[in-house]
A and B are shown apart, each in its own frame.
Chain A
Amino acid sequence: MIASRFPYVAAIAFAALALLPLGAMLSGDGFLLSIGTRVMIFAIAAISLDLILGYGAMVSFGHAAFIGIGAYAVGILSAHGVTDLFAHLAAALAAAALFALATGAVSLRTKGVYFIMITLAFGQMIYFLAVSLAAYGGDDGLTLPGRSTLLGSSVLKSPQAFYYLTLMALAAVYLLCRAIVGSRFGRVLQGTRQNAVRMQAIGFEPFRYQIVAYVIAGMLGSVAGVLLANQAEFVSPAYMSWQRSGELIFMTVLGGIGTLTGPLIGAAAYLLLEEVLSHVTEHWKILFGPFLILVVLFARGGIAGLLKGRGL
């Protein structure tokens, strides 16, 4: 079974991530650390998306909105002089939970194509809201005065410290999602994915489980936003453009949906591929688009599916 085997792959991935700063130090390549941090941030977002996409069959095309909410929580609080990381996190989680609850309550009244289009539209709504926030940079975005502070110290300025903070966040999100998926709640959620009518017949109300999962996924997604704003020391509406949401879905599918480990690998594969292709040509998307189509048409189950096929 893929679920029981995959933690080994995850353990290897986490061990490699833990050792990466050592490699970066030995090779003297600071870029390795920055791309590693970026991969982990997007992995957090992709794993949170997998929770609803892979286990709840909710194809949300607005997940980047939560990254944006997290990022703007950092940006807006920092602009008002509140720089504490825990304050940023608390604001991000609360705002994301509220937004997820409000939009989820409307979106989950529908199914299928409607759900995709509505989540896309709500994502776009919050994008335009950010664009119109003239006080916080509007379209141009907002440069942060500095990274979040941890109990008053600015230790996160160090790339290594920030890297390990991100790694801890990723591990926490991963383990939390694993626990959720394995719990009674997670099994009911997977039941509604397979057959909502039957779940209803045996006494579960699918809507309640789906909206709770949607809110959790949104909150975890906002954690990625808090980290992303800190890494770039910059916040912009572009973080929540609908293309971003598309990329998040692709990372999840590329790695293998419904595996939690897959999105981690998918995020790494996606960002590294983007890095390599953008060095080949500035028009890298002209190669990337067809690649995406080929993955969808021929590589079902993503990278996790390929590994499973080879007995890994």
Chain B
Amino acid sequence: MSTTLLFIQTLNGLQFGILLFLVAAGLTLVFGVMDFINLAHGVQYMVGAYLAAHFTAMTGSFFAGLALALPSALAIGLVLELLVFRHLYDRDHLDQVLATFGVILFLNEAVRVVWGSAPLSVPVPEMLSGSVRVMDGLLYPVYRLAIIGSGLAVAALLYVLVNHTRLGMLVRAGASDAPMVAALGVNIRRLFTVVFGFGAMLAGFAGAMVAPILSVEPGMGDNLLILTFVVLVIGGIGSVRGAFVAALLVGVVDTVGRSFGPDLLKLMMPPSAASQTGRAVAPMLIYILMAAVLYFRPAGLFPAKA
């Protein structure tokens, strides 16, 4: 029984990790190329979820909703870049943090005004509903597998884009030494706008994909944003590969730790104390992991800068 549960929780952890990766990928590129800290990336994820909910209700089909939500998320990202972020690239991190914090306050409240405070729910698309037998006596929802699959597909696409195209080469070069790339005649601002828009769309995609399994509500991006930061710090800012490894690590450690932490502690202490301590320590695990990684590798597992 315990191995089945462990397997399920590991799958859940992977699914969560994939989600974190989709949000972290855009963020890490934006950091890497422009040294720009964007707290508002989490609300992009929330906006994606709201747009998916809205368009799904409008069209009656999740896939049509997704198809409409993605370009809308991209458009909102680009508008924000034009109105706010563009003016912050030359500022210090403190200004960037504050102004993007203002964007969070605004967007969290704006979705409340437009869609109300009550959580929205999105039905799981017919085609992907139900469960599938993964192994003996183990059923797993198809939709969660679909999230894992589409996330892996995006990761593969990103890998090809970043490692095997001219654009990707520029992005990698930008992450390791942006002034040098600019000196070689590349319009780094335009490159950045492309990267930024792409990142905003990825975050929106992540939001849209989880809309059917989570409740869509204001502030849903905030906690995810902080987990994304943990991912970036562990993986190394600017590295997509680092973000991928760290996202899966964080996803699995968090999910498995929460469900098995108390059980593991029972081996060492009385049951009631173990479940109390387990519940208190489990949410802290990923931060402890982060501290440990930082202690040994202050620039993360895969640092992008030379």
Report which A residues bind B (CB closer than 8 A): 53, 59, 61, 103, 106, 109-110, 112-114, 116-118, 120-122, 124-125, 128-129, 131-135, 242-243, 246, 249-250, 253, 257, 283-286, 288-293, 295-297
Task: Check A286–B287 contact: CB distance below 8 A.
Answer: no
Contact flag A106-B295 (CB < 8 Å), given A113-B35, A118-B233, A242-B222: yes
In the complex, what residues of A have CB within 8 A of residue B232's CB? 117
Cα distance, A103 to B290, chains bound together (Å): 11
The listed residue (B37, B84, B284) touching A129 by CB distance below 8 A is: B284
- The stretch among B91-99, B136-144, B193-201 that forms the contact with chain A is B91-99
Chain B, interface size: which category? 35 or more
Task: Check A124–B37 contact: CB distance below 8 A.
Answer: no
Task: Check A129–B109 contact: CB distance below 8 A.
Answer: no
Task: Check B280–A290 contact: CB distance below 8 A.
Answer: no
Chain A contact residues: over half helix, strand or loop, or mixed? helix
Closest to B219 in A: A243
In the complex, what residues of A have CB within 8 A of residue B284's CB? 125, 128-129
Cα distance, A117 to B227, chains bound together (Å): 10
Q: Which of B282-301 contact A (CB under 8 A)?
A: 282-284, 287, 290-291, 294-295, 298-299
Task: Name the residue among B94, B105, B109, B237 with the largest chain A CB count within 10 angstroms.
Answer: B105
In the complex, what residues of A have CB within 8 A of residue B98's CB? 246, 249-250, 253, 292, 295-296
Task: Check A129–B105 contact: CB distance below 8 A.
Answer: no
Q: Which of B98-134 contact A (CB under 8 A)?
A: 98-99, 101-110, 112-113
Can you list 25 A-B pairs with a CB-CB distance of less than 8 A?
A: A59-B94, A61-B97, A106-B291, A106-B294, A109-B294, A114-B294, A117-B229, A118-B290, A120-B226, A120-B229, A121-B287, A242-B222, A243-B222, A246-B101, A249-B94, A250-B98, A285-B105, A285-B106, A285-B109, A286-B105, A286-B109, A286-B110, A286-B113, A289-B102, A293-B103
Task: Check B294–A250 contact: CB distance below 8 A.
Answer: no
Contact flag A53-B113 (CB < 8 Å), given A129-B280, A293-B103: no
In the complex, what residues of B have CB within 8 A of residue A257's CB? 94
Task: Check A297–B226 contact: CB distance below 8 A.
Answer: no
> What is the CB-to-nearest-CB distance from B278 to chain A, in angstroms, rounded to a whole number?
9
